[in-house]
């Protein structure tokens, strides 16, 4: 049968739940970011040029 103790089983369930909650939080954050980016024009000085240049800096 199962070689895990009840405590190990409970800890496994808790870890799985925490992982699901983290995934949900990440998905919600990405959705908020997409909505925010969709409502902001590309030519905003603090966002537009910086975001276009950042990947070039990361490649070096």
Mean pLDDT (whole number) for 39-46: 66
- 29 within a domain of the structure (yes/no): yes
Name the residue with higher pLDDT: 57 or 4. 4
Q: Give me the domain span that covers residue 28.
A: 6-59
- 1 within a domain of the structure (yes/no): no
DSSP string of 4-59, one letter each residue = S-HHHHHHHHHHHHHHHHHHHHHHHHHHHHHHHHHHS-TT-TTTHHHHHHHHHHHH
Is pTM beyond 0.75? Reply is no
Name the residue with higher pLDDT: 52 or 38. 38
Instruction: Please give the tally of structural domains in the chain.
Output: 1
């Amino acid at each position: 049968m199962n070689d895990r103790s009840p405590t190990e089983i409970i800890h496994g369930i808790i870890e799985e739940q925490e992982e699901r909650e983290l995934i949900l939080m990440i998905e919600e954050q990405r959705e908020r970011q997409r909505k925010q980016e969709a409502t902001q024009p590309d030519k905003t000085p603090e966002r537009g040029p910086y975001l276009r240049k950042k990947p070039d800096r990361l490649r070096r």
